[in-house]
Structures are given as structure tokens and as C-alpha cells.
Structure 1
Amino acid sequence: MATQSTVKTSSASSEYSEGSIRVLKGLEPVKQRPGMYTRTDNPLHIIQEVLDNAADEALAGYGKKIKVILHADGSVSIEDDGRGIPFGLHPEENAPVIELVFTRLHAGGKFDKGKGGAYSFSGGLHGVGVSVTNALSKRLEATSYREGQVATLVFSGGDVTEPLVKRATGEGDRKQGTTVRAWPDAKYFESSALPMNELTHLLRSKAVLMPGVTVTLVNEKTKETQQWQYKAGLRDYLTQTLNGDPVIPLFEGEGFADGNSESFAEGEGASWAVAFTEDGAPVRESYVNLIPTSAGGTHDSGLRDGLFTAVKSFIELHGLLPKGVKLMPEDVFARASYVLSAKVLDPQFQGQIKERLNSRDAVRLVSSFVRPALELWLNEHVDYGKKLAELAIKAAQTRQKAGQKVEKRKSSGVAVLPGKLTDCESKDILHNEVFLVEGDSAGGSAKMGRNKESQAILPLRGKVLNTWEVDRDRLFANNEIHDISVAIGVDPHGPNDNPDMSNLRYGKVCILSDADVDGSHIQVLLLTLFFRHFPKLIEAGHLYVARPPLFRVDAPARGKKPASKAYALDEGELTAIIDKLRKDGVKEGGWSISRFKGLGEMSAEQLWDTTLNPDTRRLLPIELGPLDNAGTENLMTQLMGKGEAAARRELMELHGDSIEIDV
């Protein structure tokens, strides 16, 4: 019948039915996908989960000592003198509470916040905690001391292998506390070794954040013991770790909400220590309920906001902001080193490993305590306030300057050769030359008269910028300089830099300008550009000045000699040519002298003969004169510096009569 189904059932191996759905129970999800619950590069984080529990006991006021032992067999023990994990039967689950803590993903004493809860402030609400440590350990021994009894429980891969055993406390036993010894399972981690630097930093920070609590690290292999106890807390810690000297004394303080606060729960708030330095890498550490938040978060943003608002209002009150400078939070924060410890009743973290705090209210919480405290402090110490304002304003000016940096114009990641560049055919930089030609008309003649194989022409429009005092990052704002750099294939650099010369496109970079005062000026401006921003081109002998003639002398035929033409660079050469004609018997006035007003007046053929032809041209290599680099720089500053008019006048008065110039 047509109504019968013709669809065949698939084989049992690929059947998708009710039985295909697998329910991961207990700690199976952690073992299947450990990366979702913890860091898998090394076992530090699963040890930290146990450490955080010990710290929470101290934070709640029930413990004064935390001890971490690195055993010779690769296991790690964490001991505290808190109240001990309860080991009676859970009323609903009918299992010892200590067993549930280590075997259930969402079991713990931190969900019941506020009045009557065991923990008002603790490191998070994910509840996966030590059960992840248990799941990823080959063996875990948990021992709890409380109410005159000791209870021990042993797990393997998250499963109970030795059920709960209770006994009365003996003479050598502690009164109360918890000891957890874990053997991390190497198969879950890229490296089974604990990063010692991170571990010691973590333990030290716990001591910093809990003044009066003693934290000890014992390494059985090396027989070393380290101990930390900070009575003065954050201030001591920041002072010891700072890179550089503070510009003003440390700004420290704390603020916590009382029972009358409408916005925050009682006890929420922060304590902080902030130092401002001019140099050195800033030290920045933040914590929420003693959990290190290495990626920062909303509490860091609150500190940043509080500092910025206070400094900005101080600057406005005292009228310190220069015209055109706009202050941003980063300008105040850029040179700030700090240790921040926030207490948040119900912290929300990004990801299970709690690297970043996401609680939105934390911005307002921290800022509301930091801002008024800093405003008051700055106005009580105006001199220090002005120093801090100066630091922030300087940062703003540097930022604005950097924001004006002009990059090469690029297409598909490659600098685009300027459209007005007429390139040569050869790629051999031993023979290639580029002529930087003054003016479009001269550029036209040069293009027609050049050797296309090895000579490139880049016409320049108008006077080039005086770049002696132009910041390197701003050079490309000028089109001509941008085009010169791109055409040559070398980026601007300083005398002590090592620029990439592998992209140099021409062996000779030749300045070609008119043989008059304006031409000389353009020549000087280009030499200034190259000496200041492309010194390695000069050092490597790539820069030249082409010398076009100023005069042309046409002589008539004389005897066997046919009519001829000769070119003179200047008046001296002109005199020498005329003297020779006289000796050759040319009658006085029998020759005619033409003067070139500029390169644009020369035909392509004349330009080739006089200036471009390697056999007949005059090409001067540019190199440092009798002065060294520093001496040349001083002289150039006198000649080209903006504030050096008096020095230039003195030079002209001294040497003005030694120069013959046709103005």
C-alpha cells in the first residue's frame, strides 16, 4: 500500500533513541572536561581551591594558621586551624557532610549568605571548589578535627575508597581544623609540577590580606621552610614590591558599608594601598574575599574610577589643566601601582577559576569609598596633589601626541608606492638611482631624459617641511616626506637605531634642485630631513646631491673645431670656460651665455647631458664633515632650530662676507 513507510531503521550502532542520552553523574563531568572547571596547564588551581577554604576560615575569624606541605612523593597537604569540616550525616542526603563536600559539584557552606551563614564573605558561589580537586586527584585524604573527634576519609579519582573513620582526639592531635592531602593526577595536566613562583606569591598574598595570620610553606624535597606574616598588611607589601620610587607618599585607606547603607550589605567594601611612580613597571594586584583576581575586574574599575574622579576634581579646583589637554582615566591610572582587597557579599566571577570579578555593583562599591578619601587627602596635601596632577597631565599629553602618530598609507599590508613616482625597471640597487626633483616641470624633463632602466624620478611640490624639530611619529602627516620614505623603502629612524635596510629600493638617493637660492634652500631642507630622520642612509653612503649647471656657453666654430656648447656650475666655472675660448682664438663676444632660471627650462636632452648621465654629470656624495655626529647636530640646531634666530644672526655676522651669493 502507498501509505506504508519505506524508511528503514538504521543499525543499532548509530541509533539515536532514549538510550543514547548519557547522564554524567557525580564528578564525571569534571573528569570528561577538566578545562571547563579548572586550569589544566598545572595543578596549582586545584590546590588553590583547598587553600581558599582554609583562608575563608581565617577570614571568618576562626583560624590563625595555614600550612602548605609539598611532600617528596608529589602530594600536597594544606592544614588550617579553623573549625574543621562537619562530618555528621546530612539531614537530606543521608551521607557524611564531609563526603558531600568532596564529591558533589554544588555542595558547600558558602551559599547561605548573611545572618546565620557560616561565611559572610567567601571566594565565590560556584560551589565546585574542592570537589574538582578530588575529581582530578589519584588520591585525596581529608581529615577533620572538631568537637573532640578526628574523622578521616580517603578518595581516589573522586570516589570514596576508604569510608569515614572517626576516633576521639589524642594527645598529639589538634583541637580543631582541617587537613587535606591530595595527589594530583598527572594525566589531566600538561605539567604535573607546581609553579613555585606562583605558589609562593599566592601564599604571601594570603598573609598580606589577612594581617596577623601566619602562612607557612614546607618543601620536603629541599628541606626549606618559608613563613609569612604581615602585621601592617597592604602598605608593607606594596612598598616591598614597588618598581621605582613613589612620586608622592602612599595613599592607603579602607571603607566598609555599615548597617545603615541602602546600597550595600554590611561589611562590603575595600581596603587599598596606591603608589604613583614615574618609571618602572606598575605593580597591580587585586583580590576579592582573598581570591586573587589576576585578570582584574569590576573592583579594579572602581578603584580606577575613584582615583580618576578625585584627581580630575582636584585639577579642576586648582585650574591646573593646560588648554587643549583632555584628561582620561588612563592618564591617572597609567603610573599607579596598587594592592586592592575588596569584600563583596555575593561575588560573581568570570569562569570557574575566578580570575576576573564580574559583579557590576563592585565598581560603585569601591569607587564610593576611594573617591572621597582621595579628594580629602589631596586637598589636605596640596603640594602632593599638584605633583600627582603634573604626572597625570604629562601622561595625557604623551597619549595625545601618540594618538597623532601618522602611519604609512598601506594597501593589503604593503606600503603603496606614491603615484607620482616614475620608477625604474631594474631592481638592482647597486645601479638603481632615485632623483628627488624640485618641481613638476623639472620632473617632466627628468622623466623624459632619464635612463629608464636604472633611474627613477620623484617630483616634489613646493618647499619641503623643515623637519629638524618634528616628532618622528608625525613625519608621515606631510605628504612629501611620506612619499620619500615609501619610495626609498626605509622608515624614519634615529642615529642609534638599527632600521631595516633590506627594503632599500635604490643604491643612490640624489637630491636634484635648481642651481639658485631657492634650490639651495630646498637642498638644505632635504639634507636636514635625511640627517635628522634617515641618518643611516648617509652613514651607508646612499645620499648624493646632483649639481645642475647655472650657465650654458655656446661657442661658434673655430678653425677645425665645430660649434660647441659648455656648461658651468657657477660664476667661477663660467670665467674659466670663457678664458679657454679666448685662448682658442674666439673673438671677444663671439660666444653667447645663457643662464638657466631653473631645471624646468632645460630640455630632456640637456638635463641628461648635464645632470643625469653618469659619464658627464656632477654628483656629490653626502657625508659628515670635519665635525662628528654630535658637533654636526649642534651646528644644524643653530641653522635649523626654531628658537635659534639669535645664533643664526651671529653666524651670518661672522661668516656672511665669505659667501658670494646671487640673490
Structure 2
Amino acid sequence: MAEENNLTTVVNGSPVDYNDDNIRTLSGTEHIRLRPGMYIGRLGDGSLAEDGIYVLLKEVIDNSIDEFKMKAGDRIEINVDDNLRVSVRDYGRGIPQGKMIEAVSVLNTGGKYDSKAFKKSIGLNGVGVKAVNALSSHFEVHSYRDGQVRKATFEKGKLVTDTTEPTDDENGTYIYFEPDNTLFINYQFHNDIVENMLRNYTYLNTGLAIMYNGRRILSRHGLEDLLKDRMSADALYPIIHLQGEDIEIAFTHANQYGEEYYSFVNGQHTTQGGTHQSAFKEHIAKTIKEFFQKNFEYGDIRTGIVAAIALNVEEPMFESQTKIKLGSLTMAPMPAQVDAEHPAPPSINKYVGDFIKTEVDNYLHKNADVAEVMMQKIQESEKERKAMAGVTKLARERAKKANLHNRKLRDCRIHYSDTKNDRKEESCIFITEGDSASGSITKSRDVNTQAVFSLRGKPLNTFGLTKKVVYENEEFNLLQAALDIEEGMDTLRYNKVIVATDADVDGMHIRLLIITFFLQFFPELIREGHVYVLQTPLFRVRNRRTKIRNKQVLAAEDAKGKKGDFIVRYCYSEEERVNAIRELGPDPEITRFKGLGEISPEEFAGFIGPDIRLEQVTLHKTDQVQKLLEYYMGKNTMERQNFIIDNLVIEEDRPEEEEDLMD
């Protein structure tokens, strides 16, 4: 038995003991801090909406929303201080004070396992706010109940203080947290991401007032307001807004390509859809087809549709702790015994389908003018599809042959459509200009998650053209095939579509041409947050260690284990270059990168690795997309030329400040 408890394994030629001492039992807090990805997904720095700090904020707000749903408090006050620290105050019932410490610090502890108290809640697993506590350098919770307030503070999940005192404040809960900056490196809360999240809460909870840094956010018309605020193209007919028990839908058609959906479960924005969104797509097309009694194809019916669905489900099952895709098949858990007294709950597909069949059909019968506009839109989509039928067939055959050996595509092994792969969120494709740029990326990329698509040069300007060009232009057809989005976003192969062009005028032009292509024909790629621009350094500033007199810089580099001849700074702007010269002077060596092809693969690996800098391409109603495209990508060449002449600013190549630093 002694031998069984003390085994020896050989690793890299050296024996490593494996015995009882290697077996550890972690507390809940320790496990969250050791494996945060299991609880909040990616960590990130706050530059993207899916970054962990927003999951922390959402977990806190979800509890306050649940109080509102239980008709306990109709306002929530949220403050973000210096983009670093957050406080959330609701006016619900307050956490029961006797169990307050356990409720915010002990895993699998909560008041939502009993569906009588929180029948249709998001937070059912007893994890959320404990993860916030564990992943925060400082965390406070106050519970106000019946003239008493219990306050507790924590540091990295460990209790520091716990007091109870009388109070005159209203009942409710206050939570304050500072994400741990040793986990969330250089993080910041971005106002636009936070505000978008809060607006979603108000769309789904009409009557709820959220005060965000002193500004009130409120919705009076639910999902109808959401579509009005999010649509970047004009609706062809008034938004159809229908509500029932545990379900709300809103939809219209716009003069655009593709399909646009917003789906929610119990107030949670399911950005990756799920069973409820699939049911909506299926039954909205089926109901409209049956209403018109014409042999329309579902794709023609849904082309240009903009829709939202919100569903309330008892004890919903999501595909991950971050709750961005619904996996539930039924509206409630199946009872242990199914009989006349305990009937099986309806499936989500049937529940959504029955509602749409009844309500949408009734609406179209009562609103013949809306039905007429809808049919015209469907017929136009059908006409365009049939006009493209011949060229589409040829293009698909060409793309199929090219995919067998496409020298322009260097694919990766893991794809976004690989539903069972844990790394699918990391999958991305770089769209590059020319073979030299793609060569650097191809040699330095992660072949598991990073693909490369190489353009021949400047692609066609697609503004004002029909979708026929997608199939007639070989390059665009191959790009569409590489992304696998001809039939919609459900089959998208890469989570991030990254435009990687040189930081010069030609590179900017190519970047605009690619974004124009997506805006024209696949706007949902941008709306759903899949399109990014790769930020690459403009300069490399380096100096020999023997010349650097700044001991702090030397110590910092030594701490990183970098003890080579040079200390290097890569700069993405003029300001960063000036700061690097100040830090590494005197007389540093400065290299100006004119193109991606000039950067060696060894260096490039750092720019597309874990510290990759991406700028997300976003699309909002206020962007006036058509007007912008018409001005910048239209045929008004002289107007643009005169604008450039009138607004031209000439700057010196070398700022005076840099001259001073070099002396």
C-alpha cells in the first residue's frame, strides 16, 4: 500500500513524486481564483463586451433585476468611478441578514433554488455574486432591512469586517466591487458597453428606472424601443410588437441584406441565440408563408428581417456559466411524475410556435397595409435570388473547387461552428493585403485558432451594387465561402473576422473597402460584434541595456526575465513613441514599420498573441450608414477632393518634443 500512495513519474528525464501531498481540496473562493474562466469566461481588459469585468457587473445587477421582477423595488442606482470601481444599489427586500455572509461568499448558497421565491430567475446556480467577490481586490455588501443594516467587506474573497447597526435607509442591497487588477490586467469599464447592457435591462423590464452615473435609463415600450434604437436602416413598415404570458416579440423588415436577431431569456441577452431564437426563426417564416398561401422560400421571407424575442423560462438551462446561449428544450423542468395532475411542460419550440401562429396571423389579417408591404419585400428578395440563380450556381462550384486547394486561405483547425470545442471562441481569420503581409502572419500564427485569407490587392468597391457581385467577384465569393455565411450567421466559421492591413493610406483604403463589403451584404457580422481591425505598431524603439540609465526600467525588464542586449518598446502612436524615447533614451534606435511585410515573423507573433490589440467595428442607429457610405464610397470624387484640400493639415515628420528628448 505504501508503494501505491507514493508513485514516481518521469517528466523531462527527471523523476517527480506523486503522493498524498499532491491531492488538494480548494475552497470555493480558491477554485474561482484559480480557474476564473469556468465561472466568467474570458478575463480581458474591458475593451470587449464579453470581457469578464462585464460578467461581474451583470451578475450583481441580475440579483437586483430579480428583485424588480418580484415587484420589490423599481429603481437601481449604478455608479462606475474612474472606469475602475462599481457600486450597485437596489431598493428590493435586501439579502436576509442572518445569511448575508454565506450568500456572497459560499458557493452553492442562494435563495433561488426554491422556485416559489424566484420562479423565472437568471441566477439559479448560487455562483454569480460569489465569483464577483472572489475576483475583486475589494468587495463590500450592505443589506438594509427593517431599520438595520449589516455591512461586510472582503478582500479577494476573504472576510475582513462584519458589522450591524441601525439605519434610516430604505430596504435593499448595496454592493461595491473593484475587479482584481492582477487578474484583469489594465482593465477599464467602457461607458458604451455598460450603457448598452443597462439599456437591454430596461427594454426587458418596462417601468424599471436605472440611474447610471446620475443619468436615467428607462424604456416604456420594451422590445419595440430596442429595435428602434438598434436599427441602422429604416423599417419598411411599423414594428409589429406582440406580448403574451412569458413571451414578447417585435419585428419588422428593413431595406437590407441578412437577418438581425436579438434574443433574451429571463432578462439575459443570449448573444449566441439558442432554442428560443431558432424556434422564432422557424415559425415566423412558416406563419408568414401560410398567411400568404404562396410557395415562398423561408430565406426570402427572412431576408431583411430585424427581430427580437424575450422569453421567461422556469429554471433555464444554458450552455455555459456565462449564459449566452439557451439550451433548454422545455419551458419548465419535467416533473418526476407525468399524469393528468402533473402534465409535461410545453417544449420551447411549440410554445413559441403556437404564439407566433396565433398572434402574427391575427395581426396580418387585421393590418392589410402592413401585409402588403411585407409581401412586396419578400417578392423583391425572391426576384433578386432568382436573377442570381445561374451565377450563384457557378460561383458555388468554383468556390467548392477552390476550397479543396485554396492558396489564398490558410485555414485553422478549430472553428467557431465547432459547437463542442472549448476554444471555439478563440477562432479568428485575418484578412490581409498581399502575400508579403499574409506570409508574416502565416508563419507566426497559432495554427489551431488563427486562419489567414490573403487579398490580391485593393478589392472592388461594392457600394451601390447588388448581391450578385458577391458571386460574380471571385475574391468576394471565396471570402464568403471561407466565412461560410451564405446561409446566415449560424454557420460562421470564425468568431473574429480581423482586417489586417498596413497603417498607410492604401491600407486604410483596403480596410474601408472590406468594411463596405460587410456593411452592404453581411451587416449582421458587424452588428453581432464579429468584425475587428488589427492594430499593429508603427514604430519600434529600442536601446542597448548599457545605455539605459533608468534603473526602474532595467529592474522591470529583469523581472520579466528579459536580459538580452536590447530593451524594446513597440509603439502604436506618436505619443507612445515619444514616451518610449523618454523611457529608453539617450539616442535610441527607432524603426518605422511601413507595412506588415516588414515585420519579422518572430516579432509579429507578439502582435497576434495573447496581447493582441483589436479595435472592434461597431454599428449603431446614429451612424447613418447609408449617408456615410454614399459620401465616402460613392461617386462624388470631386466633393471629397475639395474637402481634403480645404481641411489638409501638414505636420512635421519629427515632433519638436522628440528632438528635445534625443538631445
TM category (shorter chain) comes to: 0.5 to 0.7
Structure 2 Cα separation of the partners of residues 272 and 473 of structure 1: 32
Residue 43 (structure 2) pairs with residue 40 (structure 1): yes
Q: Unpaired segments of 5 or more residues in structure 2?
A: 47-52, 331-347, 409-467, 475-505, 507-663
What CA deviation, in whole Å up to 9, does each residue of 1:281-303 have, x standing for no partner? 86532221111112222111222
Deviation at 1:129, TM superposition (A): 0.7
Residue 289 (structure 2) pairs with residue 312 (structure 1): yes
For the Cα contact (< 8 Å) 1:242–1:282, is it kept in 2?
Answer: no
Q: Judging changes above 3 Å, is the alpha-carbon distance between structure 1 residues 145 and 312 closer, same or farther for their aligned structure 2 residues?
A: same
Structure 2 Cα separation of the partners of residues 395 and 234 of structure 1: 26
The aligned residue for residue 206 of structure 1 is: 201
Q: Judging changes above 3 Å, is the alpha-carbon distance between structure 1 residues 53 and 124 closer, same or farther for their aligned structure 2 residues?
A: closer
What CA deviation, in whole Å up to 9, does each residue of 1:620-645 have, x standing for no partner? xxxxxxxxxxxxxxxxxxxxxxxxxx
For the Cα contact (< 8 Å) 2:259–2:302, is it kept in 1?
Answer: no
**Deviates further, 76-85 or 297-306:** 297-306
The aligned residue for residue 74 of structure 1 is: 84
For the Cα contact (< 8 Å) 1:215–1:229, is it kept in 2?
Answer: yes
What CA deviation, in whole Å up to 9, does each residue of 1:196-250 have, x standing for no partner? 21110111121222111110111xxxxxx32112223222332233222222221
Structure 1 Cα separation of the partners of residues 23 and 300 of structure 2: 55
What CA deviation, in whole Å up to 9, does each residue of 1:518-565 have, x standing for no partner? xxxxxxxxxxxxxxxxxxxxxxxxxxxxxxxxxxxxxxxxxxxxxxxx
Structure 2 Cα separation of the partners of residues 106 and 207 of structure 1: 29
Residue 75 (structure 2) pairs with residue 65 (structure 1): yes
| Structure with more helix by fraction | 2
The aligned residue for residue 27 of structure 2 is: 25
For the Cα contact (< 8 Å) 2:38–2:321, is it kept in 1?
Answer: yes
For the Cα contact (< 8 Å) 1:244–1:277, is it kept in 2?
Answer: yes
What CA deviation, in whole Å up to 9, does each residue of 1:36-70 have, x standing for no partner? 11131131111110011111111111111111111
Q: Judging changes above 3 Å, is the alpha-carbon distance between structure 1 residues 230 and 73 closer, same or farther for their aligned structure 2 residues?
A: closer
The aligned residue for residue 134 of structure 1 is: 133
Structure 1 Cα separation of the partners of residues 15 and 71 of structure 2: 58
Deviation at 1:190, TM superposition (A): 4.3
Deviation at 1:191, TM superposition (A): 4.1
Q: Judging changes above 3 Å, is the alpha-carbon distance between structure 1 residues 274 and 29 closer, same or farther for their aligned structure 2 residues?
A: same
Residue 66 (structure 2) pairs with residue 56 (structure 1): yes
Deviation at 1:472, TM superposition (A): 6.8
Q: Which amino acid aligns with 2:200?
A: S
Deviation at 1:274, TM superposition (A): 1.1
Indicate the SS of the match to 1:413.
coil
What CA deviation, in whole Å up to 9, does each residue of 1:570-592 have, x standing for no partner? xxxxxxxxxxxxxxxxxxxxxxx
Q: Judging changes above 3 Å, is the alpha-carbon distance between structure 1 residues 246 and 13 closer, same or farther for their aligned structure 2 residues?
A: same
The aligned residue for residue 337 of structure 1 is: 306
Q: Which amino acid aligns with 2:86?
A: V
Structure 2 Cα separation of the partners of residues 334 and 474 of structure 1: 17
The aligned residue for residue 254 of structure 2 is: 277
Q: Which amino acid aligns with 2:95?
A: I
For the Cα contact (< 8 Å) 1:311–1:332, is it kept in 2?
Answer: yes
Between the two proteins, what is the percent identity of the paired residues?
27
For the Cα contact (< 8 Å) 1:241–1:283, is it kept in 2?
Answer: no
Structure 1 Cα separation of the partners of residues 7 and 139 of structure 2: 48
The aligned residue for residue 189 of structure 1 is: 184
Indicate the SS of the match to 2:321.
coil
The aligned residue for residue 216 of structure 1 is: 211
Indicate the SS of the match to 1:300.
helix
Q: Which amino acid aligns with 2:311?
A: A
Structure 1 Cα separation of the partners of residues 272 and 182 of structure 2: 27
Deviation at 1:9, TM superposition (A): 6.5
The aligned residue for residue 111 of structure 1 is: 113
Structure 2 Cα separation of the partners of residues 118 and 473 of structure 1: 54
How large is the Cα RMSD of the aligned pairs? 2.9
Provide TM-score, normalisation by structure 1.
Answer: 0.53
Q: Which amino acid aligns with 1:241?
A: R
For the Cα contact (< 8 Å) 2:84–2:189, is it kept in 1?
Answer: no
Structure 2 Cα separation of the partners of residues 111 and 474 of structure 1: 53
Q: Which amino acid aligns with 2:364?
A: L
The aligned residue for residue 380 of structure 2 is: 394
Q: Which amino acid aligns with 2:319?
A: Q
Q: Judging changes above 3 Å, is the alpha-carbon distance between structure 1 residues 61 and 74 closer, same or farther for their aligned structure 2 residues?
A: same
Deviation at 1:125, TM superposition (A): 2.6
Q: Judging changes above 3 Å, is the alpha-carbon distance between structure 1 residues 389 and 61 closer, same or farther for their aligned structure 2 residues?
A: same
Structure 1 Cα separation of the partners of residues 126 and 382 of structure 2: 44
Q: Which amino acid aligns with 1:284?
A: Y
The aligned residue for residue 327 of structure 1 is: 297
Structure 2 Cα separation of the partners of residues 412 and 249 of structure 1: 48
For the Cα contact (< 8 Å) 1:302–1:367, is it kept in 2?
Answer: yes
Q: Judging changes above 3 Å, is the alpha-carbon distance between structure 1 residues 292 and 255 closer, same or farther for their aligned structure 2 residues?
A: same
The aligned residue for residue 301 of structure 1 is: 278
Q: Which amino acid aligns with 1:302?
A: A
After the TM superposition, which residues 576-615 of structure 1 pair with which residues of structure 2 at under 5 Å, given as runs? Answer: none
The aligned residue for residue 364 of structure 2 is: 378
What CA deviation, in whole Å up to 9, does each residue of 1:391-426 have, x standing for no partner? 2343345456364242544462259xxxxxxxxxxx
Deviation at 1:307, TM superposition (A): 0.9
Q: Which amino acid aligns with 1:184?
A: P
Residue 411 (structure 2) pairs with residue 412 (structure 1): no
Deviation at 1:270, TM superposition (A): 0.8
Structure 2 Cα separation of the partners of residues 384 and 282 of structure 1: 19
Structure 1 Cα separation of the partners of residues 472 and 21 of structure 2: 71
Deviation at 1:98, TM superposition (A): 1.1
Structure 2 Cα separation of the partners of residues 473 and 215 of structure 1: 44
Structure 2 Cα separation of the partners of residues 123 and 271 of structure 1: 17
Deviation at 1:382, TM superposition (A): 3.1
Deviation at 1:152, TM superposition (A): 0.3
Deviation at 1:272, TM superposition (A): 1.7
Structure 1 Cα separation of the partners of residues 469 and 308 of structure 2: 37
For the Cα contact (< 8 Å) 2:83–2:189, is it kept in 1?
Answer: no
Deviation at 1:390, TM superposition (A): 3.2
The aligned residue for residue 175 of structure 2 is: 180
After the TM superposition, which residues 545-556 of structure 1 pair with which residues of structure 2 at under 5 Å, given as runs? Answer: none
Indicate the SS of the match to 1:350.
coil
For the Cα contact (< 8 Å) 1:243–1:282, is it kept in 2?
Answer: no
After the TM superposition, which residues 527-566 of structure 1 pair with which residues of structure 2 at under 5 Å, given as runs? Answer: none
The aligned residue for residue 363 of structure 1 is: 349
Structure 2 Cα separation of the partners of residues 244 and 474 of structure 1: 24
Q: Judging changes above 3 Å, is the alpha-carbon distance between structure 1 residues 375 and 405 closer, same or farther for their aligned structure 2 residues?
A: farther
Q: Which amino acid aligns with 1:273?
A: A
After the TM superposition, which residues 583-662 of structure 1 pair with which residues of structure 2 at under 5 Å, given as runs? Answer: none
What CA deviation, in whole Å up to 9, does each residue of 1:157-183 have, x standing for no partner? 1111113x111223xx22x00000001
Structure 2 Cα separation of the partners of residues 315 and 30 of structure 1: 54
Structure 2 Cα separation of the partners of residues 295 and 58 of structure 1: 26
Provide TM-score, normalisation by structure 2.
Answer: 0.53
The aligned residue for residue 435 of structure 1 is: none
Indicate the SS of the match to 2:176.
strand
Structure 2 Cα separation of the partners of residues 56 and 185 of structure 1: 26
Q: Judging changes above 3 Å, is the alpha-carbon distance between structure 1 residues 473 and 240 closer, same or farther for their aligned structure 2 residues?
A: closer
Q: Judging changes above 3 Å, is the alpha-carbon distance between structure 1 residues 364 and 198 closer, same or farther for their aligned structure 2 residues?
A: farther
The aligned residue for residue 228 of structure 2 is: 239
For the Cα contact (< 8 Å) 2:83–2:190, is it kept in 1?
Answer: no
Structure 1 Cα separation of the partners of residues 283 and 21 of structure 2: 57
For the Cα contact (< 8 Å) 1:252–1:274, is it kept in 2?
Answer: yes
